[in-house]
Amino acid sequence: MSDPAAPPAVPPAAEGQQSPLVVNVQYVKDLSFENPNAPNSLALRQQPQIAVNVNVNARPLADHTFEVQLIISAEAKQEDRVAFVVELTYAGVFTLNGVAEEHVRPVLLIECPRLLFPFARAILAEATRDGGFPPLSLQPIDFAQLFRQQLAQQGQQAGQA
């Protein structure tokens, strides 16, 4: 049984055909690193508690072309003091060719961020390392599960309206 929230499998493009998903460009849209209690925060006495928040946004740019933003923020605390705060908006411009209308949203909110994530992960690891901390190593993210949660939340909000 297939998962209704998962995008359909995208077969490889045959010779002469356009790929159904094209990555036109990807880029850092916004990056912020704060180390408010330096240099005291750099003397790690214990492993900091790190809270990570992930969000995905998509917006149309032109026919079949969309900007997808992967927004990741992390805050590390030692005891009651902030060790660091890092925020990254990593984006890509994607063109969808021949993707059925009912599959556009899942492709944009599941497959596109899945392609962007390894690059965003590396940027965050480098930013925290350059800030004097061990590299932040994010675990893989299940974007299909995030998409299902978003659908459920929207359903609850629609039910309350």
Q: Is 69 within the bounds of a domain?
A: yes
Closest CA to 57 of 108, 119, 107: 108
Q: Is 154 within the bounds of a domain?
A: no
Q: Is 146 within the bounds of a domain?
A: no
Q: Is 16 within the bounds of a domain?
A: no
Q: Is 10 within the bounds of a domain?
A: no
Number of domains in the chain: 1
Instruction: Count Cβ atoms within 10 A of the Cβ of residue 92 and give its class: 0-12 exposed, 13-18 middle, 19 or more buried.
Output: buried
pLDDT tier for residue 1 given thresholds of 50, 70 and 90: very low
Q: 3-class DSSP state for residue 134?
A: coil
Domain that holds residue 119: 21-139
The CATH number of the domain holding residue 89 is 3.10.420.10
Q: Is 153 within the bounds of a domain?
A: no
Q: What is the pTM of this model?
A: 0.82
Q: Is 12 within the bounds of a domain?
A: no
Q: What is the Cα 121 distance to its own chain's centre?
A: 9
User: Span 1-11, mean pLDDT?
Assistant: 51
Q: Is 75 within the bounds of a domain?
A: yes
Query: What tens digit of pLDDT does each residue of 32-91 get?
Result: 999 998 888 777 667 789 999 999 999 999 999 999 999 999 999 988 889 999 999 999
Query: What tens digit of pLDDT does each residue of 102-126 get?
Result: 899 999 999 999 999 999 999 999 9
